[in-house]
Amino acid sequence: MRDAHKIMEKIISLAKQRGFIFQSSEIYGGLKSAYDYGPLGVELKRNIMNEWWRTMVYEREDVTGLDASIIMHPKVWEASGHLAGFSDPLVDCLISKERFRADKAPTPNIGDEIHITCNDKGQAKNYQLAIEKRFNIVLQRNGKNLEGLKVIDTNKIGFFETDQEKESKTFDFPGYVSPTFNSPFLSKEKQFNLMFRSQIGAVDALGDIANFVNDNKHLDKDEMKQGIEKIVKDSAVYLRPETAQAMFVQFLNCQQTMSMKIPFGIAQMGKSFRNEITTEHYIFRSCEFEQMEMEFFVEPGTQKKWLDYWIDKRLEWWKSFSNYPDNFIYRAHEKDELAHYADACYDIEYKYPWGYDELEGVASRTDYDLKKHAEHSGTKLSYFDQQKEDPETGKMGWRYTPYVIEPAAGATRGLLVYLIDAYHEETVQDAKGNDTTRVVMKLHPKLAPFKVAVLPLIKKDGLPEIARDLVNSFMKAGINARYDEQHAIGKRYRRHDEVGTPYCLTIDGETKADNCVTIRDRDTMKQERVSMNEAVKIIIDKLNQSTTD
Ligand code: GAP
């Protein structure tokens, strides 16, 4: 049933048709990797984020919330290292112009043949000519492949004429090829900053730049670039690439106003922005996305215990809304994967249709961030524990810089995970007894955009009025209910199956006489007739029951 290859296409199509996710600016041709969350997508996203907030903040005395500015003082990003280090090594293919991340590219082994794989024979011919012109070799064309190259050393590629055992020419090899075409003809690596830059202030830097260029025509290219950079930098601000830094910058304010005692956490959720070069897998990696992050401040030396604690908690949370909890795992980072500030890190991974990949990172960030912000701002970011003995002096009272455990989750990535988890196709029989496919989104009731749909069987005889009254009763009880009278009842059931509505209530001709309605369960399709006066309570009980199962 769960065909891995087709499932993404089906989910993308359903998400668009049913109002979960639209391409951004679609009528203008769309904007690459930008998405809008439609009428049902916004509900699903909020439900996920509200559940996270409930678990992380409302249900805990040791975590407090924060909603910080997206644009922060540029020095924040200098201190955090994002301005200098938040960059990807990028490479261009000199033939196809494909741009890609060097650290994610395929790495053939010594002895491997390299076949440049074109889209079609015509392109193969064009690339063959382009390579001949630029590198003075004629690769052999085999359909849409270009052949004759082989890795002969860790840093060398050889060109072999047809049937020749010895290479006639060699080329430098960086150890990887381009991901789409398999091309080893590549530019040098360039660093590319992932932060979106903007300007703040009333004066437009363009005017200053124009004056500078006009007054300094004698400068060479690099000097001109440096001069312009300086002007831009003076008024530059950045869209935050993560929500985390605000929690470090506001550590003292949150700790003092709420009298928090260590261990304690500061939680924040909201938009983050990264100028991602490789956007991939629909909303999995996009330039604008939402995060749910918490910085948990702990006593130095206790970080391992708290790291283990938070990995368990977070994994359990993701599983609790899933039909397939076994699809969530965690994986320890290898030493060479660790960020410079972390002494340990785990990824919570989900089994996406393309394989296991990251959903949330749980990092042990040491005291790196608080120390950096203290150093750059000149403000002491430390904690004084009166009850503890200072390990160095042996005296009561210990001032230290807390260590930090950070569970950092993607909310929009989580939404994709739950769409994949929910998507089901089932064979059922239609009214004539023929097999037909039912698509049902088995979203957890807490996440489902609508909890209940109220459907009058026909649009007359007072049934719509009864249905609307019932919808109002649900609304008053805080249950998101939907009135729906369009199309035949079977079609309406299917529509609500496809958006994950757990229960449909039908008002029919008998309702007026017996004051009863029919409840249809989304997953089992079983129907039961209940008193209308009890309907709201019964649904509330069912929703509560489903969340404690
Ligand atoms: N403060 C640490 C931090 O931001 P991260 O691993 O870069 O760590 C945390 O991001 C989570 O945010 C990721 O596990 C992922 O779920 C989500 N995320 C990161 N970049 C994303 C992107 N470009 N699009 C969608 N989600 C993203």
The 10s digit of each residue's pLDDT in 38-87 is 999 999 999 999 999 999 999 999 999 999 999 999 999 999 988 876 56
At 113-157, the pLDDT tens digits run: 999 999 889 889 989 999 999 999 999 999 999 999 999 999 999
Ligand 1 probe mutation, 33, 239, 242, 284, most atoms within 8 A of CB: 242
For residue 486, give Cα distances in angstroms to 68, 493, 504, 513: 43, 11, 14, 24
Can you list the pairs that 307-315 forms with residues at least 24 positions away whose Cβ atoms lie under 8 Å? 307/344, 307/346, 307/362, 307/364, 307/405, 310/362, 310/405, 310/407, 311/346, 311/348, 311/362, 313/407, 314/348, 314/360, 314/362, 314/407, 314/409, 315/348
Is residue 349 a contact partner of residue 331, using CB atoms and an 8 Å limit? Answer: yes
Q: Which helix (H) or strand (E) holds 489?
A: helix 489-499
Answer with the residue of higher pLDDT: 205 or 428.
428
Q: How far apart are CA 235 and CA 230, in angstroms?
A: 9
> Rounded CA gap, 547 and 525, in Å?
19
> If you count DSSP H runs as helices and E runs as strands, how many of each does the chain have, helices first?
16, 28
- Quick one: pLDDT at residue 285? 93
Secondary structure, 3-state, 82-120: HHHHCEEEEEEECCCCCEEEHHHCCCCCCCCEEEEECCC
Residue to probe by mutation, ligand 1, list 268, 291, 418, most atoms within 8 Å of CB:
291
Tell me the CA–centroid distance for residue 58 and ligand 1, in Å. 24
In three-state secondary structure terms, 399 is strand
Rounded Cα–Cα distance for residues 205 and 225 (Å): 14
447-476: average pLDDT: 96
pTM for this entry? 0.84
Task: Indicate the SS3 state at residue 148.
Answer: strand
- What pLDDT is recorded for position 5? 62
* Predicted local confidence at residue 549, as pLDDT: 55
Per-residue model confidence as pLDDT tens digits over 83-101:
876 566 778 888 887 778 8
In sequence order, the 6+-apart residues with CB closer than 8 A to the CB of 292 are: 49, 52, 53, 56, 267, 269, 408, 409, 410, 411, 414
Q: What are phi and psi of 502, to 5 degrees?
A: -65, -35
**Torsion angle of alpha carbons 265, 271, 272, 273, nearest 10°?**
180
Q: Averaged over 385-395, what is the pLDDT?
A: 95
Q: What distance in angstroms lies between residue 169's CA and the mean position of ligand 1's atoms? A: 44
| Main-chain dihedrals φ then ψ at residue 218, nearest 5 degrees | -75, -15
One-character DSSP codes across 202-258? SS-HHHHHHHHHHHTTTS-HHHHHHHHHHHHHHTEEEB-S-SHHHHHHTHHHHHHHT
Q: Which of 240, 413, 415, 419 most suits a substitution to test ligand 1, by most atoms within 8 Å of the C-beta?
A: 413
Q: Is the peptide bond before 445 cis (omega within 30 degrees of 0)?
A: no
pLDDT-above-90 percentage for the chain: 80
The string of pLDDT tens digits covering residues 2-11 is 465 689 999 9
- Token code pair at residue 19: 């109002």
Distance 4 CA to ligand 1 centre (A): 24
Cα–Cα distance for residue pair 284/359, rounded to 1 Å: 9
- Of residues 360, 373, 375, the one with CA closest to residue 406: 360
Residue 1 — very low, low, confident or very high, per pLDDT cuts 50/70/90?
A: very low
Contact 489, 459 (CB under 8 A): no
Minimal-distance CA residue to ligand 1 atom 25: 285
Give the pLDDT confidence score for residue 85 in this predicted structure.
61
Whole-number pLDDT of residue 103: 82
Query: Minimum mean pLDDT among 31-40, 85-94, 287-296: which range?
Result: 85-94
Minimal-distance CA residue to ligand 1 atom 6: 361
CB 147 within 8 A of CB 118: no
Ligand 1 centroid – CA 409 distance (Å): 7
Give the Cα-Cα-Cα angle 96, 97, 99 (nearest 5 degrees): 120
3-state secondary structure of 336: helix
The stretch 207-223 carries a mean pLDDT of: 91
Cα–Cα distances (Å) from 374 to 96, 191, 364, 427, 476, in that order, read 47, 28, 19, 61, 50
Distance 257 CA to ligand 1 centre (A): 29
Q: What's the rounded Cα separation, in Å, for the pair 128 and 116? A: 10
410 lines ligand 1 (CB under 6 A): yes
The rounded mean pLDDT for the chain is 93
Centroid of ligand 1 to alpha carbon of 274 (angstroms): 9
What pLDDT does residue 101 have? 81
CA distance 174 to 104: 13
pLDDT exceeds 60 at position 314: yes
